Amino acid sequence: MKQEAALQPPLTKSGLENPTRRTLLLGSAGAMAAVSLLGFSPLAKADEPKSLPDYAAWKERNALIVHSANTMETERGAIGNGVITPSDRLFVRNNLPAPPASITDDPDAWEVHIEGVKNPRNLTVGELKKMGVTTVASVLQCSGNGRAFFPHGASGTQWSVGAAGCVMWTGVPLKDVVEALGGPVDGAKYITSSGGESLPDGLDPKTIIVERSVPTRAMSSAILAWEMNDEPLTHTHGGPLRMVVPGYYGVNNVKYVKNVALSENQTDAKIQVSGYRVRDVGVKGATDQPSMWEMNVKSWVTSPLEDGRSGRTMIYGVAFGGTVALKKVDVSVDGGKTWKQARFLGPDLGPYAWRPFVLAADLPAGEHRVVSKASDVDGNTQPEGRTENERGYGHNGWSDHGVTVTLS
């Protein structure tokens, strides 16, 4: 689409303009406090890469774009061609500073309160491990992944494509826990999870707490997870215990989960009432707007990202359907004028996981706009353009997510 093509910035390995031009958006005193508490300085020179904050120091720095102390994005070229994203390359997004790292010293002692069931009680992680176990592969994606492509300058971290990864979660199915506690109370319509971060003094807890409600239809797949990628869940990613809702945007996968309630109504926390709502540009968030729950079908190219030689070229990428299994991925090397179907790589790890794909193409010298378009088994297909909205949420348009390479 010519109009959209005109909006494309010069691309780097991340698929965006030079990351040193990105703005660190700290819109409140609370955000500044978060930076300070994490021991991270946003005042580095523009041409100097930001260091990793202490709680994420074990990550592979060269694979990450550090936007702030709370936000680290996986480089497009570091996503790779495998089904599972290595933990040290997985993006990081925190709404609040993490609790002390010491909470993972004895993970089995961590307690979560379960209410909205016939027999509410506290359960330790050690007790949860005796109630059942399952492992599920699921895409973890921030609601604002792709925000950087919105021309109106949506506020928030300017994610390109790297606020997403596919990981293996191990934990107890939430439905097993609910059944063991007598089942849900009558009238339960939502699962509400509360995070265990320490809240700053002097603020109304409901204005800052990470507390999210999802429909009870998510009960069939939700788990309370204590492992990620076959290792104990790190403090960085929500350990000792995290609510995982496969197929749902990352904000609903509450870290350091301390309370789970089956409730008739959604939480009245700000992050639910007005936050993570899809609304027109310039409109404030409200409860009558769609909430960022199930993810939509999406894909993007991960290679090639740099100029090279003409001839046989292997085009790689990743695709997923949210809560719906994928059917196919089509790839175009001429900006969407013509398409060829790619083939999936590796094993199919279920409807919530992503599928790496590849297409072999013979490309002549010149400039090529490489884009991908995924379709799921329910007939949903990525649109060409974006759905304009205030916060730049849920972007799955194939045009913006492409890359331009010049071959000689």
Digit-coded pLDDT (tens) for 124-177: 999 999 999 999 999 999 999 999 999 999 999 999 999 999 999 999 999 999
Q: Name residues whose C-beta falls within 8 Å of residue 217's C-beta, 6 or more positions apart in sequence.
A: none
Q: Do residues 227 and 170 lie in contact, with contact meaning Cβ atoms separated by under 8 Å?
A: yes
| CA pair distance 149, 26, nearest whole angstrom | 20
Q: CB 292: neighbour CB atoms within 10 A?
A: 21
| CA pair distance 305, 204, nearest whole angstrom | 46
Query: Tokens at residue 37, please?
Result: 């508490």
Q: What is the largest CA-CA distance in the chain?
A: 69
Q: Do residues 373 and 327 lie in contact, with contact meaning Cβ atoms separated by under 8 Å?
A: no
Q: pLDDT tens for residues 303-326? A: 999 999 999 999 999 999 999 999
Query: Tokens at residue 214, please?
Result: 């999802």
The pLDDT of residue 73 is 98
Query: Tokens at residue 78, please?
Result: 């570091």
Q: Do residues 195 and 235 lie in contact, with contact meaning Cβ atoms separated by under 8 Å?
A: no
Confidence of residue 50 (pLDDT cuts 50, 70, 90): confident
The pLDDT of residue 5 is 32
Residue 25 clears pLDDT 70, i.e. is over it: no
Helices (H), 68-183: 125-128, 174-180
Q: Which residue has the tokens 């491990």?
A: 129
* Residue 357 identity: F
The pLDDT of residue 48 is 52
| CA pair distance 364, 405, nearest whole angstrom | 11
Q: pLDDT tens for residues 255-267? A: 999 999 999 999 9
User: Rounded mean pLDDT of the chain?
Assistant: 90
Give the residue-averaged pLDDT of 184-210: 96
Domains and CATH numbers, the chain: 2-93 (no CATH), 101-273 (3.90.420.10), 298-407 (2.60.40.650)
Number of H helices, E strands in the chain: 5, 21
Q: CB 73: neighbour CB atoms within 10 A?
A: 29
The pLDDT of residue 13 is 41
Give the residue-averaged pLDDT of 81-88: 97
The more confident residue out of 108 and 30 is 108
Model-level pTM?
Answer: 0.88
* Residue 157 identity: T
Q: Which residue has the tokens 């439905």?
A: 175
Confidence of residue 49 (pLDDT cuts 50, 70, 90): low
Q: pLDDT tens for residues 231-260? A: 999 999 999 999 999 999 999 999 999 999
Percent of the residues in the chain that have a pLDDT greater than 70, as a whole number: 88
User: DSSP for 389-406?
Assistant: -TT--S---TTTT-EEEE
The pLDDT of residue 30 is 37
Give the residue-averaged pLDDT of 108-127: 98
DSSP 32: H
Q: Which residue has the tokens 């196919």?
A: 328
Q: Do residues 120 and 114 lie in contact, with contact meaning Cβ atoms separated by under 8 Å?
A: yes
Three-state DSSP at 288 gives: coil
Three-state DSSP at 55 gives: helix
Q: Which of 349, 353, 370, 210 lies closest to 275 in space, CA to CA? A: 210
Confidence of residue 72 (pLDDT cuts 50, 70, 90): very high
Confidence of residue 187 (pLDDT cuts 50, 70, 90): very high
Query: Tokens at residue 253, please?
Result: 């996968």
Q: Name residues whose C-beta falls within 8 Å of residue 293's C-beta, 6 or more positions apart in sequence.
A: 214, 215, 218, 248, 249, 252
Q: Which range among 43-47, 119-123, 147-151 shows the weakest confidence by mean pLDDT? A: 43-47
Give the residue-averaged pLDDT of 355-382: 98
Distance spanning both ends of the chain, measured CA to CA? 25
